[in-house]
C-alpha cells in the first residue's frame, strides 16, 4: 500500500513539473531570466540587483550589504536577510555577472516551495488530481509567478514557509527530531527574508497546534512530552524574528540610512479618499493579476461550503485555514497603505485562498469521492483541468502585458548600454556619479554599474553633501 502511494506521489510530482514547464513555455519566460530589472516595481528590483552587484564588487560579508546609492554611509542599508543576494554574488564569481543568476535562484525557491506544498497536499489528499489542483492554481497566479522570476525576497519567503510546514508535518508523523529541526530552520529563514510573507503560515500552524493541545482531547491532544519540542521550536523562531529586526535597526542606525520600510504601513494612517482609492484599485486592478476572474469567483464560492461543512472538514486543516485567513486580515490592516502602489505587498493573499482549496479538496476526496459515479468523477477532473488551463492562459497574458506595456518602461532602456561609454569620459566604476532624472535610488545606478546619487533620498537626511 505504501509503495503504491509513494509511486502515486512521484507521478504527481512529475506531472506538476511538466505543468510548470508548460506554464513557463506558454508565458515565453525563458528570455525573462536574462532581463535586467524591468517592468512593474523596477525600483525595488533594482535595489535587490544592486545588493548582488555590491557584494560581487566589494567582497563584503553576508551581514554587511550595501547598494549603489550612497545615501547614508557608503550606501550601506538592509531590510530582508540578504542570503539570496550573497549567494548570487558568490555564484557570479564563477559564471560572471548575469541577471539570470538571481532570477534563477528565486525561481528555484519557487519550485521547491510548490513541491513542498504538493507534498503536504499528498499527506491529506490521496487523489492526485485534487491534490495538484490548488498547487497549480497557486503556481499560475500571475503576480505570484511574476515575482517567482524576479529579484524580490517575497516568493522565497513564502516558499520556505511551505517547506517549513512540510517538515513540521513530517515530524508529527514520525516524532523524529531531524524534521523538527529542519522545519524550524526553514521558518527562521522564511521570516528573516520577510517576517510577514514568511510568518503567516508559521503563526497559523503554531496557533492551530497550541489550540488543539489546549482545547481538544482524545488522539488529537498531544502529551506534554510531545508538545515541548514544538514549543521550543516556536520560541526559537520568534526569537530569531526579534533578533533580526533588532540587527536591521541597529545596522541602519549605524549607517544613518533608513530608506527601506521596516515598520508597519497601517490603514489608520490613511485619509478616507486614499483608503477608498486603494480599495478600489485592489478590487478593479490588482485582482486581475491575482488570478482569472473565474478562478477568483470559484475560490470565493468555496467559502460558504467551508462554513457549511465545518464539522466534517479535516480537524487540522479547518483551523489552520481559518487562522491563515485571520492572519492575512490582520496583515492587511497593518500594511494596507502599501497596497496603493505595491502588488507584491499583497502576495500573502494567496495563502488563505490556496489552503481553503486544499481543505475543500481533502473533504471532497475523503467524503464525496467514494460516492461519485465514474462519469461525475471524470467531469470533476475535467472541471479542475479547465480552471487550470484558464489560469495558465491568463498568466501568459499578464506576463506578456507586463513585459511589453509601454506604461511599465520607466527609463530609457538605452541606459543599460551606457556602462562601456563611461571610461571614455574618465568615469571609473568607483567614482560617485549623479544620475538625473531618476526618482528611484538605484534604477539608473544599477543600470550603469556605478556608485552615486539620484533625485531620490536626496533631502535633509540623505544628500550629496553628507
Across the range 87-116, mean pLDDT stands at 97
Q: Report whether pLDDT(1) > 60.
A: no
Q: How far apart (Å, rounded) are the C-alpha atoms in residues 373 and 362?
A: 18
Q: How far apart (Å, rounded) are the C-alpha atoms in residues 192 and 199?
A: 9
Helices (H), 27-82: 42-58
Q: What share of the chain in percent tops pLDDT 90?
A: 78
Residue-level pLDDT at 184:
97
Across the range 414-431, mean pLDDT stands at 88
Residue 464 — pLDDT band, cuts 50, 70, 90? low
Region of poorest pLDDT, from 134-148, 156-170, 222-236, 325-339: 222-236
Q: How far apart (Å, rounded) are the C-alpha atoms in residues 411 and 444?
A: 8
Q: Report whether pLDDT(338) > 70.
A: yes
pTM given for the model: 0.94
Q: What share of the chain in percent tops pLDDT 70?
A: 94
Residue 218 — pLDDT band, cuts 50, 70, 90? very low
CB atoms within 10 A of CB 241: 17
Residue 5 — pLDDT band, cuts 50, 70, 90? low
User: Which tens digits make up the pLDDT trace of 240-274?
Assistant: 999 999 999 999 999 988 877 788 899 999 999 99
Residue-level pLDDT at 13:
85
Taking each helix axis as running N to C, give the angle between helix 315-335 and helix 350-363, from 0 to 180 degrees, rounded to the nearest 10: 160
Region of poorest pLDDT, from 29-33, 339-343, 425-429: 425-429
DSSP per position, 93-152: HHH-S-HHHHHHHHHHHHHHHHHHHHHHHHHH---HHHHHHHHHHHHT-HHHHHHHTSS-
Q: Report whether pLDDT(320) > 90.
A: yes
User: Which tens digits make up the pLDDT trace of 351-400?
Assistant: 999 999 999 999 999 999 999 999 999 999 999 999 999 999 999 999 99
Across the range 191-217, mean pLDDT stands at 90
Residue 451 — pLDDT band, cuts 50, 70, 90? very high
Residue 136 — pLDDT band, cuts 50, 70, 90? very high
Query: What's the gap between Cα 153 and its chain centre?
Result: 7
Residue 439 — pLDDT band, cuts 50, 70, 90? confident
Torsion, CA 58, CA 62, CA 65, CA 68, rounded to 10: 40
Amino acid at each position: 500500500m505504501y509503495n503504491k502511494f509513494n509511486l502515486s506521489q512521484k507521478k504527481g510530482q512529475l506531472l506538476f513539473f511538466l505543468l510548470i514547464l508548460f506554464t513557463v513555455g506558454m508565458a515565453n519566460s525563458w528570455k525573462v531570466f536574462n532581463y535586467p530589472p524591468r517592468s512593474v516595481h523596477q525600483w525595488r528590483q533594482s535595489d535587490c540587483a544592486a545588493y548582488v552587484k555590491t557584494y560581487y564588487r566589494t567582497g563584503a560579508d553576508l551581514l554587511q550589504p550595501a547598494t549603489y546609492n550612497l545615501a547614508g554611509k557608503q550606501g550601506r542599508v538592509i531590510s530582508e536577510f540578504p542570503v539570496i543576494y550573497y549567494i548570487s554574488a558568490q555564484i557570479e564569481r564563477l559564471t560572471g555577472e548575469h541577471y539570470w543568476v538571481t532570477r534563477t535562484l528565486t525561481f528555484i525557491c519557487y519550485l521547491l516551495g510548490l513541491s513542498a506544498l504538493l507534498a503536504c497536499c499528498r499527506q491529506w489528499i490521496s487523489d492526485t488530481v485534487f491534490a495538484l489542483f490548488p498547487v497549480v492554481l497557486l503556481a499560475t497566479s500571475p503576480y505570484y509567478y511574476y515575482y517567482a522570476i524576479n529579484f524580490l525576497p517575497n516568493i522565497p519567503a513564502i516558499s520556505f514557509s511551505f517547506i517549513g510546514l512540510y517538515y513540521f508535518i513530517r515530524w508529527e508523523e514520525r516524532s523524529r527530531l531531524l524534521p523538527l529541526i529542519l522545519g524550524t530552520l526553514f521558518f527562521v529563514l522564511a521570516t528573516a527574508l520577510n517576517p510577514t510573507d514568511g510568518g503567516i503560515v508559521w503563526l497559523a500552524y503554531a496557533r492551530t497546534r497550541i489550540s488543539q493541545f489546549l482545547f481538544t482531547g482524545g488522539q488529537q491532544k498531544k502529551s506534554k512530552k510531545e508538545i515541548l519540542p514544538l514549543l521550543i521550536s516556536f520560541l526559537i523562531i520568534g526569537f530569531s524574528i526579534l533578533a533580526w529586526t533588532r540587527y536591521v535597526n541597529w545596522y541602519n542606525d549605524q549607517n544613518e540610512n533608513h530608506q527601506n520600510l521596516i515598520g508597519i504601513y497601517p490603514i489608520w494612517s490613511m485619509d478616507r479618499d486614499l483608503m477608498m482609492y486603494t480599495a478600489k484599485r485592489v478590487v478593479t486592478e490588482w485582482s486581475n493579476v491575482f488570478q482569472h476572474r473565474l478562478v477568483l469567483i470559484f475560490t470565493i464560492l468555496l467559502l460558504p461550503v467551508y462554513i457549511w461543512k465545518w464539522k466534517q472538514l479535516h480537524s487540522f486543516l479547518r483551523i489552520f485555514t481559518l487562522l491563515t485567513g485571520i492572519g492575512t486580515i490582520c496583515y492587511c490592516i497593518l500594511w494596507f497603505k502599501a497596497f496603493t502602489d505595491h502588488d507584491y505587498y499583497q502576495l500573502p493573499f494567496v495563502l488563505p485562498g490556496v489552503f481553503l482549496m486544499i481543505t475543500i479538496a481533502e473533504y471532497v476526496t475523503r467524503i464525496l469521492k467514494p460516492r461519485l459515479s465514474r462519469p461525475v468523477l471524470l467531469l470533476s477532473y475535467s472541471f479542475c483541468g479547465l480552471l487550470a488551463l484558464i489560469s495558465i492562459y491568463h498568466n501568459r497574458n499578464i506576463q506578456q502585458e507586463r513585459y511589453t506595456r509601454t506604461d511599465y518602461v520607466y527609463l530609457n532602456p538605452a541606459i543599460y548600454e551606457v556602462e562601456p561609454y563611461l571610461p571614455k569620459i574618465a568615469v571609473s566604476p568607483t567614482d560617485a556619479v549623479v544620475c538625473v532624472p531618476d526618482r528611484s535610488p538605484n534604477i539608473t545606478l544599477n543600470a550603469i554599474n556605478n556608485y552615486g546619487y539620484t533625485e531620490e533620498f536626496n533631502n535633509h537626511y540623505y544628500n550629496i553633501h553628507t
